[in-house]
Amino acid sequence: MFNKILIANRGEIAVRIIRACREMKIKTVAVYSTADAESLPVQMADEAVCIGPPAPRDSYLNAPNIISAAHITGADAIHPGIGFLSERSNFAEAVEACGITFIGPSGASMDKMGDKSIARETMQRAGVPVVPGGTFTTAQEALELAKKIGFPLLVKASFGGGGRGIRSVQNEEELPRAIEIASNEAASAFGSGDVYLEKFIEEPRHIEVQVIGDKHGHAVHLGERDCSIQSLRRQKIVEEAPAANLAPALRNRLGDAAVRAAKAVGYSGAGTIECLVDKHGNFYFMEMNKRLQVEHCITEMVTGIDIVKTQILVASGEKLQFSQKEIRLNGHAIEVRINAEDPERNFAPSAGKIEKVILPGGLGVRVDTHIYSGYEVPPYYDSLLAKVIVWGKDRDDAIARAQRCLMEMEVVGVKTNIAFCQKILSNAYFRRGEYTTDFLQRRILSEMSAKDSG
């Protein structure tokens, strides 16, 4: 087992990893930018190393500085957390080349699933359904492919995720400009402007399956999560596990396909197979997130499996400690992402000093956060402040508990989306589990606009 793990990340996920390491009696090293000098991970870790100024490219994306920090502190493993360098195969390979263990999949596995066009081909060979689409090299090829796929369609970044580098296209005239915008955005966010075309699935649900594999060829799934409640920028807001109103046969097919996908690339560690499920019950592979997910917590709540500890054990060479038959889902879990943003101003980020924080608690409640009274929310990073995670004996119980938690929660000093999330939980369509990825536009934002105009 590792003696010391460096966490190459910040915020609530760094806190989450530090807590897992403490329980495993593993020392931790936090890295931080100058903007995060007073952050909670820095205060909690056994050691902390400044790796650069606030801009991510100079700090959390600065691989040489991070690896140097690991050498200086004697860390024998690096956990990349979520985002930043977590899905960069060249970073994983550089870490391993320096004699340090990368807690995640191999660079080779990342490459097979990192380029989404290659991933599509890999999944097709593994018998996993994919959304109709393809790659192109010239404008003429793009137009011919678009006609073959049919409109509407999506232009999507070949690398990365999180809703960036995606543009919808309704007709031929919109295609060139959409490709240009998506490519530029992808290049800025992920370092590659490669994009591909994909059929737009109307009224889909965004269902993802948590998988874990070890270095001995074993892989299992831990059930699915519904992540269809998303912002206009395709950022997830509310997630639940298991998915509501999902036929048992479809649930089994999703799980089986996810395991096949993981085994097809020799996957080791925690990953997520993301799919679209249409209104007819057909599902299609979208992409694989080759890292820990923000919403891993709800899977932990319904399975009782600590995914972060399992990541660490698998990276150290241990076999999975459970088989597929031993995994059981118990009850229902919901996660609500609390962001520093202003829903009244098109969800504009809100930076500044937090003057007061009241966090909810009680039976079946977990709050993953890095904020505290007096914490200064920097303007340079993701706006996530906290994840309110609840468990209930069934879905209705979980919704009631989540609502109660948001009533208790208070963050003073910056704008938040707490009240907006209450609207989601109170919506009749959400409560019935009748929602797709356009839920926010159809059921929440449209109602807010109608009230404003009235």
* Interval 262-316: pLDDT, tens: 999 999 999 999 999 998 899 999 889 999 999 999 999 999 999 999 999 999 9
Position 162 scores a pLDDT of 64
CATH of 205-453, one of 3.30.470.20, 1.10.3720.10, 3.40.50.720, 3.90.870.10: 3.30.470.20
Which residues form the catalytic set? 291
Question: What is the β-pairing status of strands 356-358 and 410-412?
Answer: antiparallel
pLDDT of 448 above 70? no
Position 116 scores a pLDDT of 72
Choose the weakest-confidence range: 26-35, 295-304, 314-323, 444-453: 444-453
Nearest to 270 by CA among 332, 333, 206, 209: 209
pLDDT of 368 above 70? yes
Residue 161: band (very low, low, confident or very high) from pLDDT cuts 50, 70, 90: low
Q: Which has the higher per-residue pLDDT, 206 or 131?
A: 206
Distance of alpha carbon 190 from alpha carbon 198, whole angstroms: 19
| Mean pLDDT taken over the chain | 94
The three-state secondary structure class of 180 is helix
Q: Structure pTM? A: 0.89
What string of DSSP letters covers 228-264? EEE-TT--EEEEEESPTT--HHHHHHHHHHHHHHHHH
Assigned token pair, 74: 């004697």
What string of DSSP letters covers 333-345? EEEEEEESEEGGG
CA-to-CA dists, residue 373 to 19, 94, 171, 230, 321, angstroms: 20, 38, 50, 29, 40
Under 8 Å CB-to-CB from 78, ≥6 apart: which residues? 5, 6, 7, 8, 66, 67, 70, 95, 100, 101, 102, 103
Residue 454: band (very low, low, confident or very high) from pLDDT cuts 50, 70, 90: low
Position 357 scores a pLDDT of 98
Distance of alpha carbon 413 from alpha carbon 428, whole angstroms: 31
Distance of alpha carbon 339 from alpha carbon 325, whole angstroms: 37
pLDDT of 453 above 70? no
pLDDT of 179 above 80? yes
Residue 158: band (very low, low, confident or very high) from pLDDT cuts 50, 70, 90: confident
pLDDT of 449 above 70? no
Distance of alpha carbon 320 from alpha carbon 82, whole angstroms: 22
| Average pLDDT value for residue range 20-35 | 98
Nearest to 298 by CA among 155, 403, 398: 398
Distance of alpha carbon 89 from alpha carbon 339, whole angstroms: 29
Distance of alpha carbon 55 from alpha carbon 53, whole angstroms: 6
| Average pLDDT value for residue range 324-348 | 96
Position 413 scores a pLDDT of 98
Position 316 scores a pLDDT of 98
| Average pLDDT value for residue range 179-192 | 89
pLDDT of 334 above 80? yes
Position 438 scores a pLDDT of 93
Nearest to 290 by CA among 313, 265, 312: 265
Residue 425: band (very low, low, confident or very high) from pLDDT cuts 50, 70, 90: very high
| Average pLDDT value for residue range 152-168 | 84
Assigned token pair, 30: 């936090």
- For the segment 38-83, what is each residue's pLDDT rounded down to a tens digit? 999 999 999 999 999 999 999 999 999 999 999 999 999 999 999 9
The three-state secondary structure class of 402 is helix
Assigned token pair, 354: 């937090």
% pLDDT > 70, the chain? 98
Under 8 Å CB-to-CB from 180, ≥6 apart: which residues? none
Instruction: Determine the CATH number of domain 4-103.
Output: 3.40.50.20
pLDDT of 381 above 60? yes
Residue found by looking up tokens 């889909």 in the block: 204
Extents of the domains making up the chain: 4-103, 132-199, 205-453
Let me know if 362 is exposed, middle or buried by CB neighbors in 10 A (0-12, 13-18, 19+).
exposed
Nearest to 428 by CA among 416, 441, 438, 439: 439
CA-to-CA dists, residue 316 to 26, 77, 97, 172, 409, angstroms: 12, 9, 16, 51, 38
pLDDT of 378 above 70? yes
CATH of 132-199, one of 3.40.50.10320, 2.40.50.320, 3.40.50.300, 3.30.1490.20: 3.30.1490.20
Residue 210: band (very low, low, confident or very high) from pLDDT cuts 50, 70, 90: very high
Let me know if 220 is exposed, middle or buried by CB neighbors in 10 A (0-12, 13-18, 19+).
buried
